[in-house]
Structure 1
Amino acid sequence: MVTDLPIPIRKGKAKSILESSVDSALLAIEIYNKPRTTFRSEGYISMMVIAWTKLFHAYFQATIGAKYYYKNPNGRFKKKDGEKLAWELSTCIRKYGKLSEAVKMNIKFFIRLRNKIEHRHINKKEVDVSIFGECQAFLFNYENFLVALFGEGYALHESLVFALQFSHMRSCQQIMANKSALAKDVQDIKKFIDDYRNSLPDEVFIAPEFSIKLLAMPKVSNTKRGDLAIDFVQLSQLSPEDQRTYDQVTALIKDKKIKVEGCNIGKLKPGGVCKTVNNRLGKRLITTVHHSWIVRIFNIRPRGSAEDPFETDTRFCHYDEAHKDYLYNDSWVDFLVSAFQEDKLTIDDMRRARYSDSKQCMNIDDFI
């Protein structure tokens, strides 16, 4: 992770934002470690996303001032419910531009997973187990970034205790949780987790910054009396021989996943874009007709009469020559969800712009 030198802040808005970020991270840990928490993943992810966002805001406040707030074309700050709109986490990542690929993919994983979890009424215990490694990396990356930006004085490790929640008993609740894993919503979330992991290059997937793999090492009774009862060891700290042994053992108990080469994986047609956006917003907001307006207004792809169909905004859209149509990616979906959530765009705005006399395109960078 590439960062600047530690930034000294003693008082003022940047310090206040930073302290709020740390408080959010500590609350996330408290939620995760409470044995009776029934919304562990949802609460932990939500608070950690807030912690990351505020950490970036503190950095930007200390380095560029108020430039991390959105502005209208007239130069005034954009507002929602009377409050200035600041960059969301995905924009902060892009504007900062110095995070390693593994750290970025870990953060983006939780941004997208949060949107999926918060709109579903499910028993999330099975999700908790599935993403334990990514949750650990989400926190460790945060602390590393926090210390790199603002110094060791803000480290969290002295405030943390690793909560051990083991059980040899299968309670009725655990059995019901396993049954609920068959529910469609849970299957959808698990499919997203598997698809996301399989989409990553090997060097990102195995990086501890994306997901920390821990081994619990019980100790026999003739060890030193001051030793911990259990050591947690990262796989990356094992010798090559021990890692090979671990791989041989786990190969016996895990399903083998085979990656098959495919085309246009993860790309969406307009109908798929609308369905995904509506699901994440929790309501049916846009149709393919609305989508065609938005695409034209922002000049994401050329019109049907254009000579070169490949002249798309490749950040969001690509031309599929085999099928002679256009496909859209996750960045386009993220942009639409963010724009509608923050009231930067409305259907009425799109309708007025679509049927205006000028029909001039808007600069999408003004909305990002």
Structure 2
Amino acid sequence: MAYARWRHMLIESQRHALKAVDEWNCSTGSFGDFVSHMHKAWHYLLHAEFKKDGVDYHYKDPQTGQYKMIDGEPSAWDLERCLKERYSNIDEAVRSNAKLFVQLRNKVEHRYEHNLKIAVDGKAHAFVMNYEHEMVTHFGSSFSLADRLRFPITLQSLTVEGHAQQRAAVARLPQATRNLVAKFEAAIDPAVKDDPRYDYRVLLVPMVGKKTDADLAVTFVDLHNLSEEELIVLSELGRTGTVMTKVKHRDVADVGKMLPKEVARQVEAQVPFEFHIQPEHTEMWRRLNVRPATSAANPYDTVDKYCVYSEVFGAYVYTTAWVTKIVREIGTVDKYRAFFGREPRRKKLTAVPPQILSTEPAPQDHDTLGKTA
């Protein structure tokens, strides 16, 4: 089968990306090879995008308008120029992350590879994740590498001794290399520096509790679906570090969960209109695929962040994260209209006792009624 030119370029891009991750995850892998292969992966990816979209990605002489030639072929844009074209004025964190590795590519010294790998661990993670996101966004989920990549087994981040070794390794980096990263980050916006697309930092917390067949060893938490309180907790943990203590787990049935009636009550307390189990709540869990229908063969097929099936009661119970998501999705009149395609029902005003509306002072007791001064 003959593929379009852009598809061949994309396949080559994926080959380099997989080689890069193999180098990273291998205990004897080369950080320099990781950077080199990811550089090529990004380069081929963006060239494939330009080719598919009909964008001319070759250098031209500004005076003659003719292509600049190398060995008889038009000279294609280098990665830095591709990044500037693709991320012009948007996604500055993605572009900054890739630009850092463009600069590091020529600065890797073999004897300090391990130290540098530790120093830029989160940035390398973001480098790969941004690549995956860019590829899937532009070419579709069928090109995702997610089914071929796994979370690596690591000791450095999971033991106290390993953490201390990490800090010592970073301290041994040559001054010139540390200055390169420091100067680069000093020149970018602080918001970009804290963006996970620039530096993807991970908080590893062992999961405790009863395991189900649907559980995975690693669960991804989408920051956009967290409440303000949850984000504050994670932010504090990231700044101060975490002290982990062994917890003796005791099963408590459906702790922290609520039935639909309580969900509706909590949501209505936070929005300017009525919110009921029928039709709003039922319509929302159906459209957002939070849980299966009541008659489904597998009642456990839920998004457990929002809803779980209770064997004890034979019913679905919901989490506070589900309340937060509902308010985020339909919490204003405009959002309600957009989601449901109809007008919300305004809350009924509570009847006010006449004496509260009166401007006259309320009588103190029944004995004062009808008396004159």
TM-score normalised according to structure 2 size: 0.54
Q: Tell me what 1:333 maps to.
A: none
Distance in 2, Cα, partners of 1:151 & 1:179? 42
Distance in 2, Cα, partners of 1:222 & 1:102? 38
Instruction: Check whether the contact 1:217–1:230 (CA below 8 A) recurs between aligned residues.
Output: no
Residue 48 (structure 1) shift: 1.1
Structure 1 residues 194 and 225, CA, compared in 2 at 3 Å: closer, same or farther? farther
Q: Tell me what 2:91 maps to.
A: 100
Which of 204, 208, 213 is the aligned partner of 1:220?
A: 208
Instruction: Check whether the contact 1:69–1:77 (CA below 8 A) recurs between aligned residues.
Output: yes
1:27 and 2:27 correspond? no
Residue 179 (structure 1) shift: 6.9
Q: Tell me what 1:161 maps to.
A: 150
Structure 1 residues 129 and 235, CA, compared in 2 at 3 Å: closer, same or farther? farther
User: Residue type of the partner of 2:85?
Assistant: K
Residue 79 (structure 1) shift: 3.5
- Superposed CA offset, 1:79-104 (max 9, x none): 43555421001111223355411111
Structure 1 residues 218 and 232, CA, compared in 2 at 3 Å: closer, same or farther? farther
Residue 223 (structure 1) shift: 3.9
Instruction: Check whether the contact 1:146–1:154 (CA below 8 A) recurs between aligned residues.
Output: yes
**Higher relative contact order structure (alpha carbons within 8 Å, sequence separation ≥ 6):** 1
Q: Tell me what 1:199 maps to.
A: 187
Which of 53, 56, 60 is the aligned partner of 2:43?
A: 53
Residue 110 (structure 1) shift: 1.2
Q: Tell me what 1:146 maps to.
A: 135
Instruction: Check whether the contact 1:213–1:234 (CA below 8 A) recurs between aligned residues.
Output: no
* % same residue: 27
1:12 and 2:4 correspond? yes
Give SS of 2:106's match: helix
Distance in 2, Cα, partners of 1:63 & 1:230? 36
Distance in 2, Cα, partners of 1:90 & 1:51? 13
1:111 and 2:102 correspond? yes
Q: Tell me what 1:186 maps to.
A: 174
Q: Tell me what 2:34 maps to.
A: 44
Q: Tell me what 1:63 maps to.
A: 53
Correspondence 1:168-179 to 2 at 5 A? 168=159
1:210 and 2:210 correspond? no
- Superposed CA offset, 1:165-189 (max 9, x none): 2155969xx97x9777565x62221
Distance in 2, Cα, partners of 1:179 & 1:55? 36
Instruction: Check whether the contact 1:214–1:232 (CA below 8 A) recurs between aligned residues.
Output: no
Instruction: Check whether the contact 1:215–1:232 (CA below 8 A) recurs between aligned residues.
Output: no
Structure of higher CA gyration radius = 2
Distance in 1, Cα, partners of 2:40 & 2:236? 39
- Superposed CA offset, 1:291-318 (max 9, x none): xxxxxxxxxxxxxxxxxxxxxxxxxxxx
User: Residue type of the partner of 1:219?
Assistant: M
Distance in 1, Cα, partners of 2:65 & 2:119? 46
TM-score normalised according to structure 1 size: 0.55
Residue 249 (structure 1) shift: 4.7
- Superposed CA offset, 1:104-162 (max 9, x none): 11111111121222xx3432222112212111111111111111211222111112111
Give SS of 1:24's match: helix
- Superposed CA offset, 1:252-310 (max 9, x none): 469xxxxxxxxxxxxxxxxxxxxxxxxxxxxxxxxxxxxxxxxxxxxxxxxxxxxxxxx
| Superposition RMSD in Å | 3.2
- Superposed CA offset, 1:209-245 (max 9, x none): 2122211121236444663445465666654434444
Instruction: Check whether the contact 1:218–1:231 (CA below 8 A) recurs between aligned residues.
Output: no
User: Residue type of the partner of 1:15?
Assistant: R
User: Residue type of the partner of 2:143?
Assistant: Y
Unaligned runs of 5+ in 1: 1-9, 255-368
Correspondence 1:340-351 to 2 at 5 A? none
Distance in 2, Cα, partners of 1:53 & 1:206? 25
User: Residue type of the partner of 1:202?
Assistant: P
Structure 1 residues 201 and 237, CA, compared in 2 at 3 Å: closer, same or farther? farther
User: Residue type of the partner of 2:75?
Assistant: L
Correspondence 1:230-269 to 2 at 5 A? 231=219, 233=221, 239-252=227-240
Q: How many residues align?
A: 236
Instruction: Check whether the contact 2:19–2:37 (CA below 8 A) recurs between aligned residues.
Output: yes
Residue 36 (structure 1) shift: 1.8
Distance in 2, Cα, partners of 1:51 & 1:86? 15
